Amino acid sequence: MKTEITEQQIQLLREQTSTHQNDVIRRAVVKNGIYNASFNQSVVNANMPIFSIDLDTGKVANQKQSGRCWMFAALNTMRHDIKDRFHVSDEFQLSQSYTLFWDKFEKANYFYENILKTATESLDSRRVSFLLTTPQQDGGQWDMMVSIIEKYGVVPQAIYPESSSSSATKELNSTLNTLLRHDATVLRNLVANQATEKDIADMRNSMLANVYRLLSLTLGEPPVKFDFEYRDELNNFHVEHQISPQDYYKKFVGWDLGEYVSVINAPTIDKPYNATYNVEMLGNVIGGRDVKHLNVDVNKMKNLAIEQLKDGQSVWFGVDMGPQVDRDSGLMANNIFSTDELFSVNSSMTKAQRLDYGQSLMTHAMVLTGVDLDEAGKPKKWKVENSWGEKVGKKGYFTMSDEWMSEYAYQIVVEKKYLDSKLVDIYENATPKLLAPWDPMGALA
Catalytic residues: 69, 364, 386
End-to-end CA, the chain: 41
The rounded distance, in Å, linking the Cα atoms of 16 and 8 is: 12
Beta-carbon contacts of residue 319 (< 8 Å; ≥ 6 apart): 332, 362, 363, 364, 365, 366, 405, 408, 409, 410
**Contact (Cβ atoms closer than 8 angstroms) between residue 239 and residue 262:** no
Alpha-carbon distances, residue 52 vs 56, 58, 126 (angstroms): 13, 18, 49
CA angle 121, 362, 218 (to 5 degrees): 70
**Contact (Cβ atoms closer than 8 angstroms) between residue 298 and residue 350:** no
Nearest Cα neighbor of 440 from 298, 262, 319 is 319
Which residues are registered as beta bridge partners of 260? 415
